[in-house]
């Protein structure tokens, strides 16, 4: 895996991934303190995670609207 990650294609792909995928997860973990779920069971955890992502997206939309209005 290490050799595979050292290829130019993998480095370019990882750059894109770090901006699109890992940033929201890092935000959820660090800023929203989502280090463990409060519910048990796959369906309940899935619902809880969706609520966190909705909160994250609503905050991004609010910030974007606020930025455009100012």
What per-residue confidence (pLDDT) applies to 54? 94
How much is the pLDDT for 11?
Answer: 85
What is the model's pLDDT at position 25? Answer: 81
What pLDDT is stored for residue 61 in this prediction? Answer: 95
DSSP symbols for 9-68: HHHHHHHHHHHHTHHHHHHHHHTS--SS-SS-SHHHHHHHHHHHHHHHHHHHHHHHHHHH
Instruction: Read off the pLDDT of residues 9-59 as tens digits, 9 standing for 90 and up.
Output: 888 888 877 667 777 788 888 888 888 999 999 999 999 999 999 998 999
pLDDT of residue 68: 92
Note the Cα 64 to chain centre separation in Å: 17
Please give the pLDDT value at position 1.
78
């Amino acid at each position: 895996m290490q050799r595979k990650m050292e290829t130019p294609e993998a480095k370019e792909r990882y750059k894109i991934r770090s901006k699109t995928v890992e940033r929201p997860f890092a935000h959820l973990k660090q800023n929203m303190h989502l280090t463990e779920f409060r519910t048990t069971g796959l369906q309940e955890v899935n619902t809880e995670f969706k609520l966190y992502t909705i909160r994250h997206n609503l905050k991004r939309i609010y910030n974007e609207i606020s930025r455009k209005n100012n």
